Structure 1
Amino acid sequence: MITPAIGTTELYKQLEILIKTDTPVFIHGSPGIGKSYIVNDIAGKNNLEIVDVRLSQLDAVDLRGIPTISNEQTKWMPPVFLPTDPDSEGILFLDELNSAPLSVQAAIYQLVLDRKIGEYTMPKGWRIVCAGNKIDDKGIVFKLPSPLINRMVHIVLEARYDDFKAWAIKNSIHPFIIGFLGFRPDLLSSEVPASSETNPAFCTPRAWNMLSNIIDSTNEINTIHPVVYGTVGYGAGIEFISFVKVYKTLPDIDAILSGESQSVPEEPSALYALCAAIIEKYENSAQAKNLFAYSKELPVEFAVMLIKDLILKDESIAELDEFEEWLEKYGEYIV
């Protein structure tokens, strides 16, 4: 039986519980979907230190420490990255666990089981979070020993567009990306290509974020087609470039925000692009009042999407009288 996967929003909730109860957890997920980002973000939000260890790059001796002689006895010197302050609190993030050599996995087993390794004991305020890729992601992945599996809670993470969009709006991801993935949410994350394919790039939230940063640095996407293909893959890249051409035919966004235009495109791809462009340029509640009126000109699903995304960017608009009036018409469509 396949374990149901969860999105990033749900992962935040579950990790909060597991960290609070000091329960070791293993997050399974494809490359580039945000496992490391989420663990680091949770540590920051809870004022916890974090030690990020990439286990695939270590040997067992790197964890247990180098042996030294003291008083005619062998003593193991633990690595400097393991926390030692008894009053500290944090997350020991063991990434790429199932890509690590079996000898390293065996060493981690003692750390997860007893919170010890060699002569090292982890401070009580520290929690263990592990992560790794799925076996079918065509990476270097080893099956974990069953005793180690049984000492952790296992959660499968998958990329979901709604979670990505909420993060993207708050982190100023380029509207080209948000609009395109609204139109083609299935391309947020794609399968890892076969090794025989000439272009090994594929879609992940990390790849789209990287492409957003690249687009922010140039005004001419027509000059970076090879970069687009090399970031998200050729098929997705072709579709994305075609979408950008639609994006550039949109009505005047500033005129819509100022209440001077009620122009509405007809094509669904253009409507997704329009909503993303409006959210990107939105600045204040005066514009929000105009957008409540403008949304009534849109098809229902886009009217609801626009206002929901607007609230993600500016929660204060929910206090406007215009929002209450808008809810009377569209409240039944909000999930």
Structure 2
Amino acid sequence: MPRYPNSSQLDVAGELLALLRDTTTEPRPDSQLEALTLTVAADLPVLLWGEPGIGKTAALTQLAATLDLPLTTVIASVHEPSDFSGLPVIGDDPAEQGVPMAPPDWAVRLVRAGRGLLFLDELSTAPPAVQAALLRLVLERRIGSLQLPPGVRIVAAANPRASAADGWELSPPLANRFVHLQWTHDHEVVVRGLGGTWPQATLPRLDPERLAASVEFARRAVCGLLAARPGLVHRLPSNEARRGGPWPSPRSWEMALCLVAFATAAGSSREVLSLLVRGTVGDGPGLELLASLDRMDLPDPEELLADPAGAVLPERGDLRQAVLDGVVAAVHNRPSRDRWDSAWALLVRALETGAPDLVVVPATTLATLRCEAWPVPAAIEKLAGVVSLSQRADRTAARVQARVAVGAQAGR
């Protein structure tokens, strides 16, 4: 006997569709999802860039459901500029009362709800006139005479111009109002999601005890970099395509500072922090900021010289190299026999706990700082073999390079 004797095939199909939509979520490390939730928590407009079908819309739908925020989707390209700037409504006496700009119905619903996720989809298909109308919405959260409440977050999605239907480059003023995140797929996430379990999007856990220190750290990092590199304060790219992405300006540096503070308070990984700062001020300035953040955590050379035996050196090679160079520079600035001997002891410790080639340059430089009256410490003997081997390798490489150059010259 049929299981559904009185049901149509559409009813059966509906039940099958319900089973297919019945999925769950699980906590799973996901750098791009964490970067998205941090930006949403920081109340900054975020723009997801990715090829069609990559899952941008699905990720935002799941984010809204997880955060219990009403999702309002607006396809920017199918709207007129007046839909975002407001439609003029003539009152009884325009000369006295003016002409108010009436907002669209979706904006009114967001204000009534007091909270929500405003999703501006297909942003790269919006023509320039619509992009211009979106400027005030994205920055000031105003639509006509209506002010969106603080509980509304703005997220947008776009396809690269090459893969967008009738795509446009984003205008520089609009692009500079967003945090840009490149959205890619992880095949393991896709496979597990199609099996019924997707990553869980949760707001970051901010440590209440670290809030003030996080703000101070972020301000010190950004202000320190811009004081040393004033040319990075504002740099509008000359390339039209790059102008439609992240680039440094006072506005985007303010967003970067905010995100560094949030990521620090949340204890986020370096990968997440990299996505955030590069998505705000661009790859070049973002990488410089990351390098500055790394150096801020380096140990003080004076503390290392005071206790070389107990020194804890960074594991990463570039940071360890920077620390050793800083120690040698400290000895150069205030030379004394005790500080010179301590520096050699520190280099020996670096040799025993890390890559030998990192001590070659500091050891060579430190040797030139010796006064004639200072006896040669025994520690130098442990480093002599490494320095000698490195010098022989350099000479061999120079000879090989010279032979290649001579051969190339003869072959002409």
TM-score between both structures, scaled by the size of structure 1: 0.47
Structure possessing the higher radius of gyration over alpha carbons: 2
